[in-house]
Chains A and B, each alone.
Chain A
């Protein structure tokens, strides 16, 4: 059954030999020009004058464009039309593109940008959450509020009450391949775009708007990205539109690749935020009532901030059945990079909020934090007698909850309770080093919360030699989507894996696609590929039945053989004869997610088809003198339903954990008082290295299947494992708590400096 096999990534052979091509590796036609943006060094202000004469005079420079030179739409936003490609009168953050240089080479273009004389009258910049709140600088008319029960009156009956606050830093995607695009001008003003994007259709739309041509005149092709993580959902628009404009002006191919520092300075990142909490709970740690206030720093433009902040609210409960809860979400507008999608899409921030509350409750009651969490879980799907499903803060019934069983299994297999005792014993005999251990669960909602995005198309073509080419709307960014979908096609067609190939994503083959995002790639496109395959198999069965006098339902296609009573044919024989019988060997497939519908303003309904679950236990050690720390061990049990490819799924889980732990530990973004991002290269922004991964790292898949009829009963896997990184943060908190009687109040990222400060807080010696 090839749909569940741990086969290697479809392009593994090309990757290991350096022959897999990314946008920057595509051989460019003679005469290709290269682009660079000139950036604002000011966070907020009015552009007084732009003198580009020295830039234009620079040898090798062909064209320089400003906002006033753009013939049509000057916009690269995903939907709100609030993001000019080139600043128009005002600048809104330090790093905003003001002009575009088109030159003979990448370096010439970049050097030429430095010759501009730009005068900006600076205005007061709104940089921090506090400044934005004071200035009432926000998106939407006011905060969004979701409420379940009567949280305020329930607080009167609460036995214990805690209030607190956690600040969460943002995160740079640091996809190893920076943003890149290549535009090739064609006949009739057509444009072909190669882009490193998760959203080819949006690139198509933005290019069509910028050139004032129909969407059918723009073809966007994406073979692969060198990592995306959400950072290529909307942030590639500017490069593709710039290349298309320059190609249209010059009639020559145009290419743009951000230098790494520019990539950091120009593009959006994960939203940083502050979460305030006020919780009432009983003696067992069971939450009685809870109020959250989320303050999200969205940056200068809307981008995807509303659905990101919504998803944070939708995960403010995580795995916990909260009887009374109110979540207030502020979406603040600041003069910084426009924060964007990043793996988890707000979910991680929402989840850290509630996990912090659980940690704080357990500390205040001196209870085992894992036990406090279990006491607050939603009712288990398998509980007998069947429990009445509880509802989330947004009124969706939780009917597929399996974390009770998963937690029990994980705690046993990683020997949690004995290790907790051992950690305490070890800490008692070590004065300077302290260990910590923590458990955290994940319940992550699967579906785009903008309901209409939950659709996908596919085109499956069989050629006369029996080889099969599948096309679909999803993009490959390393997650193994193409491999999974070739396996889906092989199983659906009953053909051998070797005859199936996935083509580059292409807007001229499958139109009107959604971004490859929200972990939905395999769920949506897998179903669309299967639908196309089913159509083809229906035709082939009818053909074989007519030709050989058997019934269609008696025919089986499996592993490249076609069998019926008294009949054995090869796949190739059937395809050859079907062609001669003039049977169409090409079919489209389409899928839309059933059952989902909700009201995001009220916060009520069913935004998700199902939930993906997981649980992690992480152990760390800290040096109390320096705050330095190490992850010693991590054990994860994760739910991929009936996995489409266990090896690829385990890879997503391992990578997700390390990336999530990086977010909450070493990865710190620093802006100075004037709004300049000071950490804009890997020299100052530290993502985890090989030496940072856990010394012991055990990942297991939960042996279940999706209760929903997803593609072969699998579950989405891209984002949910990211949030296992929260267990590393909690383990650090646990280690710090071993230093003194006070709650560590650990803030994120918990880098060495923060751990050092938290040790002082735990001891009550903070200055």
Chain B
């Protein structure tokens, strides 16, 4: 066992401080240390995307990052995007447009989609297809995932225009 290191993270707006082994993966920090179980473990090799979180404004697969590498970072998980009674437009769209079946990929999928819509507020169908290609879903065939993101993009753009 290597010597434990002091780690400070900001997760969903809350500061978390703890001692961690250098090889503790961030997904385990979130799930086992902080009881944040929205990000799921799918493959642990950064291919499936079920563990996707946002770190300092970037989509990151938290199974291939050490907690110590995230020292000082701002981390947002699905729980920080919106709760069951306070859904983000993307969450609402995935619910209403059947963008999920078993739901296991959904938290990572929506977390990635929030960044996609920040990068490209009104993405084309092709931009969604390739922007989401790092998050695997085995159930839906992706059709309703794309529709959900399109619906949320339209709704968010309309809300933004109305605000301006």
Query: Does residue A767 face the partner (Cβ distance < 8 Å to B)?
Result: no
State the majority secondary structure of interface residues on B: loop
Contact A682 B48 (CB under 8 A): yes
The residue on A at minimum CB distance from B96 is A8
A478 proximity list for chain B (CB < 8 A):
100-104, 139
A658 beta carbon closer than 8 Å to chain B: yes
Q: A651-B101, A659-B141 are in contact. Are A689 and B91 (CB under 8 A)?
A: no
Q: When the two chains form their complex, are residues A226 and B140 in contact, meaning their CB atoms are under 8 A apart?
A: no
Inter-chain CA distance A681–B128, complex, in Å, is: 25
Shortest CB-to-CB span from B119 to chain A, Å, is: 15
**Residues B47 and A651 in contact, CB atoms below 8 Å apart:** no
Decide if A9 touches B98 in the complex (CB within 8 Å).
Answer: yes
Q: In the complex the two chains form, is B141's CB within 8 Å of A19's CB?
A: no
A176 CB contact (under 8 Å) in B37, B48, B77, B142: B48
Is A746 at the interface (CB under 8 A from chain B)?
Answer: no
Check A687 against B101 for contact (C-beta < 8 Å): no
Is A648 in the interface zone, CB < 8 Å from B?
yes
By a CB distance below 8 angstroms, the chain A residues around B45 are 260, 681-683
B110 in contact (CB, < 8 A): yes
Partner of A16, one of B91, B125, B144: B91
> B83 contacts which chain A residues (CB < 8 A)?
17, 19
How many Å lie between the Cα of A25 and that of B30 in the bound state? Answer: 12
Nearest CB in chain A: distance from B13 CB, A: 15
Q: Name the residue of chain B whose CB is nearest to the CB of A229.
A: B138
Measured CB to CB, the nearest residue on chain B to A18 is B38
Name A26's closest neighbour in chain B (CB-CB).
Answer: B37
- Residue among A16, A173, A176, A257 with the most chain B CB within 10 A? A16
Q: Nearest B residue to A685 by beta-carbon distance?
A: B47
> Whole-angstrom distance from the CB of A14 to the nearest CB of chain B?
6
Are B43 and A260 in contact, with the CB atoms below 8 A?
yes
Q: What's the Cα separation between A173 and B104 when bound, in Å?
A: 14
The contact of B139 among A11, A227, A657, by CB within 8 Å, is A227
Q: What's the least CB distance linking B158 to chain A, in Å?
A: 20
Q: Once the chains are docked, how many angstroms separate the CA of A478 from the CA of B48?
A: 18
**A226-B130 contact in complex given A18-B38, A655-B139, A693-B142, C-beta closer than 8 Å:** no
Asked if residues A12 and B94 are in contact (CB atoms below 8 Å), the reply is yes
Chain B residues near A20 (CB-CB < 8 A): 103
A226 adjacent to B103 (CB under 8 Å): yes
How far apart sit A13 and B125, CA to CA, in the bound complex (Å)? 25
Task: List chain B residues, Cβ under 8 A from A17.
Answer: 38, 78-79, 82-84, 87, 91
A15 contacts B140, C-beta separation under 8 Å: no
Shortest Cβ gap from B21 to chain A (Å): 10
**A177 touching B110, Cβ below 8 Å:** no
Are B44 and A657 within 8 A (Cβ)?
no
Q: How far is the CB of B123 from chain A (nearest CB, A)?
A: 12
Name the contact of B94 in the complex, choosing from A16, A27, A656, A658 (C-beta under 8 A). A16
Interface assignment of B2: CB less than 8 Å from any CB of chain A: no
Q: How far is the CA of A86 from the CA of B22 in the complex (A)?
A: 34
* A655 in contact with B101 (CB, 8 Å): yes
Contacts of A657 in B (CB 8 A): 141
Interface residues of B in 44-99 (CB under 8 A from A): 44-45, 47-48, 50, 77-79, 82-84, 87, 91-92, 94-96, 98
With A21-B37, A691-B133 given, is the CB distance from A658 to B103 under 8 Å? Answer: no
Report chain A residues within 8 Å CB of B35.
27
Q: Would you call B117 an interface residue if the criterion is a C-beta within 8 Å of the partner chain's C-beta atoms?
A: no
Q: Is B11 close to A, CB under 8 A?
A: no
* B121 CB–A CB distance under 8 Å: no
Contact of B141 among A15, A178, A257, A655 (CB under 8 A): A655
**Assembled-state Cα–Cα distance A24/B102 (Å):** 15
**Are B47 and A15 in contact (CB-based, < 8 A)?**
no
A residues less than 8 Å from B105 (CB atoms): 176
Residue of A nearest to B50 (CB): A176
Q: Select from chain A the residue with minimum beta-carbon distance to B83.
A: A17
Q: Report which of A16, A227, A257, A682 forms a contact with B87, defined as CB distance below 8 A.
A: A16
Cβ-defined contact, A176 with B40, below 8 A: yes
Note all chain A residues with C-beta closer than 8 A to B145.
690
A693 touches B98 (CB 8 A): no
B102 close to A226 (CB less than 8 A) = yes
* Contact residues, A581-630 vs B (CB, 8 A): none
Q: What's the Cα separation between A24 and B42 when bound, in Å? A: 11
Of B94, B96, B103, B136, the most chain A CB neighbours within 10 A belong to B103
A647 within 8 A of B: yes
Q: Across the two chains, which residue of chain B brings its CB closest to A21?
A: B37
Cα A411 to Cα B31 with chains together (Å): 50
Residues in B whose Cβ lies below 8 Å from that of A691: 129-130, 132-133
**Inter-subunit contact B98/A648 (CB<8 Å):** yes
- Taking CB atoms and an 8 Å cut-off, the chain A residues in 237-286 that contact chain B are 257, 259-260
| Contact bitstring A686-708, B, C-beta under 8 A = 1, else 0 | 01111101010101000000000
Interface size class, chain A: 35 or more
Nearest-neighbour CB distance to chain B for A538, whole angstroms, equals 35
CA distance A650 to B144 in the complex (A): 10
Q: Answer whether residue A174 sits at the interface, using C-beta atoms and an 8 A cutoff.
A: yes
In the complex, per-residue mask of B107-140: 1 if CB is within 8 Å of any chain A CB, else 0:
1001000000000000001001110111111111
Q: Is the CB of B95 within 8 A of A8?
A: yes
Chain A contacts for B95, CB-based, 8 A: 8-9, 12-13, 15-16
Q: Which residues of A contact B143 (CB under 8 A)?
A: 654, 693, 697, 699
The answer for the CA separation of A176 and B42 in the assembled complex, in Å, is 6
Say if the beta carbon of B41 comes within 8 Å of chain A.
Answer: yes
CB pair B43–A11 under 8 Å, yes or no, is no
Indicate if A479 sits at the interface (CB-CB under 8 A).
yes
- Are B141's CB and A18's CB within 8 A? no
Any B CB within 8 A of the CB of A175: yes
Question: CB of B146 within 8 A of chain A?
Answer: yes
Is A225 in the interface zone, CB < 8 Å from B? Answer: yes
Which residue of chain A is the closest to B93 with respect to CB atoms?
Answer: A16
Whether B43 pairs with A654 at a CB distance below 8 angstroms is no
**Quick check: is A480 within 8 A (CB to CB) of the other chain?**
yes
Q: Is B150 in the interface zone, CB < 8 Å from A? A: no
Closest A-chain residue to B47, C-beta based?
Answer: A682
Tell which of B38, B98, B142 touches A8, judged by Cβ atoms closer than 8 Å: B98
Residues of A with C-beta under 8 A to B136? 174, 176, 682, 687, 689
Say whether A139 faces chain B, with CB atoms less than 8 Å apart: no
Q: Please, how many angstroms separate the alpha-carbon atoms of A225 and B103 in the complex?
A: 9
Q: Which listed residue (A16, A25, A225, A227) contacts B37, Cβ 8 A? A: A25
Note all chain A residues with C-beta closer than 8 A to B41: 24, 178, 257
- Contacting residues of chain A (209-240) with chain B, CB-CB under 8 angstroms: 224-229
CA distance A478 to B106 in the complex (A): 11
Q: Which chain B residues lie closer than 8 Å to A739 at the CB level?
A: none
Which residue, A15, A224, A257, has most C-beta atoms of chain B within 10 A?
A: A15
With contact pairs A175-B138, A654-B144, A659-B141 given, residues A19 and B104 touching in the complex (Cβ less than 8 Å): no
Q: Which of B44, B101, B132 has the most CB of A within 10 A?
A: B101
- 8 inter-chain pairs at a CB distance below 8 angstroms, sorted by A residue, are A14-B103, A16-B94, A260-B45, A477-B102, A658-B141, A659-B141, A682-B45, A690-B145
10 A-B pairs with the lowest CB-CB distances in the bound complex, closest first: A18-B38, A478-B102, A226-B104, A15-B103, A658-B141, A478-B101, A18-B78, A682-B47, A654-B141, A16-B91
Given contacts A16-B87, A17-B78, A17-B87, list 19 more A-B pairs with CB under 8 A. A12-B94, A15-B107, A18-B78, A20-B103, A21-B37, A22-B40, A24-B31, A25-B40, A27-B35, A175-B138, A227-B101, A227-B102, A257-B41, A477-B102, A478-B101, A650-B98, A655-B101, A690-B133, A691-B129
